[in-house]
Each structure stands twice: as C-alpha cells, then as structure tokens.
Amino acid sequence: MAVKRREQALQDYKRLQSKVEKYEEKEKTGPTMVKLHQAREELRPVREDFEAKNKQLLDEMPKFYHSRIDYFQPSFEALIRAQVVYFTEMHIIFSELTDQIDQAGLTDEQRERENEAKLSELRALSIVADD
C-alpha cells in the first residue's frame, strides 16, 4: 500500500514538474511568469509529500525485508513439527503391521498364495464385475 501511495505521489510530482518545465521554456511574459509561479507553488507541497513518502518507504523497506525471517520461521517450525508427528505415527503403524505380518510365520510364497485365494473369493462374488 505504501508503495502505491509513493508511486501515485511520484506521478503527481512528475506531472507538475513537467508543467513547471514547460512554463520555464516559454517566453518570459507576464501571464507566463504568473503561471510559472503558480505551478511552482503547486509543485512545492507535492514534492514535499513525495519526498516524505519516499523517505518513509526507504526507511521501512529494509525493516520489512529483515522481518521476513521472524514471519516465516514459526511457520516452518510448525510444518517440521507436523511432519515429525506424522512420520513418527506412520513409522509406529508400519512397525505394528510388520509385526502382525511376521507373527503369522508364513513365507512369501505362502503369503502370496493366501492373498491370491482371498482375491479369488472376492472375484467370485456376484457384485464384482468380470475382467
């Protein structure tokens, strides 16, 4: 938002500065000098406004840039903690399942035959479509 305000102030400043320059290039007649004086008077507060906004932005941008770590660090820490919890739980579940599989004392071939038998029973059901 501050960048937009500064940009708008810069556009106003440039517009009035070009107006002053245009009057300075014209012939020095009475009406032109009056318009030049008015344009300079109009330019002064706009220039001060732009310079103030520019200075504020130049002061705040480094602070904003350096505060990014304070913003992202807690988010990354929370993400890492969540991943640690998730993968710890998955490891526990996997270990329990591995223990259950190993308790049966079956070889891989026996386990394969058992799985195929169960799949055959499922395929034999009337609700299962034929492949």
Alpha-carbon span 11 to 1, nearest angstrom: 15
What type of residue is 69?
A: I
pLDDT above 80 (res 102):
no
| C-alpha distance from residue 109 to each of 26, 82, 97, 118 (Å) | 100, 39, 19, 14
How many distinct structural domains can be found in the chain? 2
Location of structure tokens 């299962």: 128
61 and 99 co-located in one domain: no
| Structural domain that includes position 128 | 73-131
62/77 same-domain check? no
- 91, two tokens: 């490891």
More confident residue, 80 or 131: 80
Residue ending a domain, choose from 66, 98, 114? 66
Other CB atoms within a 10 A radius of the CB of residue 115 amount to 10
Residues 77 and 52 both lie in one domain: no
pLDDT in tens, 61-100: 988 888 888 889 999 999 999 999 999 999 999 999 888 7
Band of the pLDDT at 55, cuts 50, 70, 90? Answer: very high
pTM to 2 decimals? Answer: 0.51
Compute CA 71 distance to the chain's CA centroid, rounded to the nearest angstrom: 12
Residues 7, 57: one domain? yes
